[in-house]
Amino acid sequence: MTTAPLAARLTRVQGPLFFPVTAYGPDGAIDLDAFRAHVRNGVDAGAAAVFACCGTGEFHALTPEEFGDCIAAAVAETAGEVPVVAATGYGTALAVRYAKIAEEAGADGLLAMPPYLVVADQSGLLRHYTELAAATSLDVIVYQRDNAVFTPETVVELAGTDGIIGLKDGYGDLDLMQRIVSAVRRDRPEEDFLYFNGLPTAELTGLAYRGIGITLYSSAVFAFAPDIALAFHRALTTGDDKTVNRLLDGFYVPLVELRNMGRGYAVSLVKAGVRLEGLDVGEVRPPLSEPLAFHVKMLAVLIERGRALLEDVA
């Protein structure tokens, strides 16, 4: 279970978890060359793992064939330097299909998105993730958010399921997370179950999650400003709270305020940031829309401010 290679590699992380965007060409088709360049830039910058075709990577917008091509490209580009984790989702049958595609493409693990649309009870959710975990040899991280929110008792069962190695929390209820952590620690003391802060712009809640022992987190900022993301990660993990607070006040809080100005900005604004840094990864696919030009200019100014803060810290 959690002694699998993926869990061991993730617990030794020295940098943020990288969630690349998916690149499209002018015709709207997948641009694998640009995608590979984006992945390579992230790995060279110090990413601890590549989570490909997940939320930031527009999993919802990809056909199974495109998904498989992107995962294979990420695997080829990383060449084993860091693990590649692929998304899977929708109903159980489709989730299994995407999982098998990811396995065939060489992925190291899966991030299981919530089931499509339906609001299931705890028994149904447990059955869904258990069947998904049994479908391939890949280790699974379950993503808690939206219509997939778990009781501590359900997470105890997930933690004891062969192939499920962790829980990524995108729900943000710290009271619930503390009860989950405590329940698994009490009832599954033999399991080194992993927890991830998976909220949008997770850095904003990094101090709070660190307080309950959760230090792994996804960094959307790493996709377009890896230097800022790395500086924050280093400060958070070493207890340099002065730098953490400086970056929170001067960069991350304003970024979240900007992100909240538009629907879908958790994806489209990140993609705009990647373009601002010089790599043409195309626009988002519908039903998402591009951020307003004024907001992109605000992002550019904010990135400059973040880098100025790094100079002040140095």
271 included as an active-site residue: no
Give the CATH number of domain 5-238; options: 3.90.1310.10, 3.40.640.10, 3.40.1260.10, 3.20.20.70: 3.20.20.70
30-72 residue pLDDT tens: 999 999 999 999 999 999 999 999 999 999 999 999 999 999 9
Catalytic annotation present for 24: no
From CA 163, how far away is CA 160, in angstroms rounded?
A: 9
CB neighbour class for 145 (10 Å; exposed up to 12, middle 13-18, buried from 19):
middle
Q: Is the pTM of the predicted complex or chain greater than 0.75?
A: yes
Low-confidence ranges of the chain (pLDDT < 70): 1-4, 314
Helix, strand or coil for residue 81? coil
Which pLDDT belongs to residue 309?
A: 97
At 14 the pLDDT is 78
pLDDT at 105: 98
Asked if residue 5 has a cis previous peptide bond (ω within 30° of 0), the answer is no
CA gap 229, 220 in Å, rounded: 9
Residue of 168, 195, 252, 271 with catalytic role? 168
* Catalytically annotated residue among 24, 98, 143, 217: 143
> Rounded to whole angstroms, how far apart are CA atoms 50 and 85?
6
Q: CA–CA separation, 98 vs 90, rounded Å? A: 9
Task: Say whether 289 sits in a helix, a strand or coil.
Answer: coil
The SS3 of residue 112 is strand
For residues 65 and 101, give the distance between their C-alpha atoms in angstroms, rounded to a whole number.
Answer: 9
What pLDDT, on a 0 to 100 scale, did the predictor assign at position 314? 63
Q: Let me know: does 118 contact 143? Beta carbons within 8 Å.
A: no
Q: Where would I find the H helices in the chain? A: 5-11, 32-45, 64-78, 92-105, 122-135, 152-159, 174-187, 206-211, 226-238, 241-247, 253-259, 265-276, 293-313
Question: Domain-by-domain residue ranges, the chain?
Answer: 5-238
Report which of 147, 144, 101 is spatially closest to residue 121, judged by C-alpha positions. Answer: 147
Per-residue tokens: 310: 């790094």
The model's pLDDT over 71-104, given as tens digits with 9 standing for 90+, comes to 999 999 999 999 999 999 999 999 999 999 999 9
Q: Rounded to an integer, what distance in angstroms lies between the CA atom of residue 135 and that of residue 75?
A: 21
